[in-house]
């Protein structure tokens, strides 16, 4: 099925490449070139995914992402000319699902977009699966997680990580296992998982759940029962 993808990129040549690549993959692509137009298009289109340039004129991509994350967990893939680790970590910490640096391979971009959309919509082809552990509950079919009945505003990647952890409660999962569940074999740095884990912990803490995701040093992560 075609998905609606909003592309926000101010460089005409890169916008053409991204638009052509995603159009060729069968998606319905809409393009805009600045942050204000992006927010207006997001409200109007309710896209299935956003490909968002960080270095936009005026309101930059990071600010656009922050605004969208106040109301939506729509998948966001950042594009950026900056390849510093701090930039990638910042993009993920404010709610991005993936980060691709320029110049990029159109084939890789298409694969990453397809991976995110497949993960986001996997619930539509699976049976309902509800997990509960301590104060946490995850409904994989509805793609929603709760702590003490409070809905957690998770991104697609954060949800995939929490889903993996709660599906094997108390079991330590390595970074490699969590990367595989979140990115389906695409090569990303271990630091990417650390950023998403920090975000997940912050959102759990914001709902009153401190120390629910435990670090087992040198091994990986697991869920604490969290009954206290």
Q: Mark whether 181 and 78 lie in a shared domain.
A: no
Do 69 and 142 belong to one domain?
A: no
Pair (8, 109) in one structural domain? yes
Q: Domain of 114?
A: 4-122
pLDDT digits (tens, 9 = 90+) for 114-173: 988 887 776 454 444 788 888 899 998 788 999 998 999 998 889 989 999 998 888 888
| Per-residue pLDDT, 181 | 75
Lowest-confidence pick of 5-9, 22-26, 138-142 = 138-142
Domain-located, residue 103:
yes
228 part of a folded domain: no
Residue 107 placed within a domain: yes
Tens of pLDDT, residue by residue over 169-225, are 888 888 888 887 777 656 666 677 888 999 999 999 999 998 899 999 888 999 986
Q: What average pLDDT does this structure show over 58-81?
A: 92
Considering 78, 101, 122, which residue would you say is the last residue of a domain? 122
Residues 113 and 142 in one domain: no
Residue 189 sits in the same domain as residue 107? no
Specify the long-range contacts of residues 18-26, CB closer than 8 Å, at least 24 apart.
18/51, 18/79, 18/106, 18/109, 20/106, 21/106, 21/109, 21/110, 22/51, 22/109, 22/110, 22/113, 24/110, 25/110, 25/113, 25/114, 26/2
| Locus of tokens 């090569």 | 187
- Cβ atoms of 109 and 98 within 8 Å: the answer is no
Do 134 and 35 reside in the same domain of the chain? no
The pLDDT of residue 127: 46
Q: Do 10 and 99 belong together in one domain?
A: yes
CATH number of the domain where residue 103 is located: 3.40.50.2300
- Domain closes at, from 90, 122, 154: 122
Whether residue 137 lies inside any domain: the answer is yes
| C-alpha distances in Å from residue 227, one per residue of 140, 147, 174, 224 | 22, 11, 24, 9
Domain end call among 70, 97, 122: 122
- This prediction's pTM: 0.62
Q: Say whether pLDDT at 228 is over 50.
A: no
């Amino acid at each position: 099925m075609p998905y609606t993808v909003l592309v926000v990129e101010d460089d005409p040549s890169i916008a053409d490449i991204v638009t052509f690549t995603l159009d060729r993959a069968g998606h319905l692509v809409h393009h805009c070139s600045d942050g204000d137009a992006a927010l207006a298009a997001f409200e109007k289109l309710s896209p299935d995914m956003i490909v968002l340039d960080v270095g936009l004129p005026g309101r930059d991509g990071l600010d656009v992402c922050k605004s969208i994350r106040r109301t939506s967990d729509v998948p966001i893939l950042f594009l950026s000319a900056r390849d510093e680790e701090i930039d990638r970590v910042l993009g993920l910490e404010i709610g991005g699902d993936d980060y691709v640096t320029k110049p990029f391979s159109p084939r890789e971009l298409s694969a990453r977009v397809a991976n995110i959309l497949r993960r986001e919509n996997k619930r539509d082809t699976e049976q309902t699966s509800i997990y509960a552990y301590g104060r946490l509950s995850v409904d994989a079919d509805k793609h929603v997680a709760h702590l003490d009945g409070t809905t957690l505003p998770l991104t697609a990647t954060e949800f995939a990580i929490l889903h993996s952890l709660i599906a094997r409660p108390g079991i330590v999962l390595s970074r490699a296992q969590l990367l595989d569940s979140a990115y389906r074999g695409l090569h990303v740095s271990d630091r990417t998982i650390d950023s998403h884990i920090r975000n997940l912990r912050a959102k759990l803490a914001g709902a009153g759940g401190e120390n629910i995701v435990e670090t087992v040093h040198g091994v990986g992560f697991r869920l604490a029962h969290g009954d206290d």
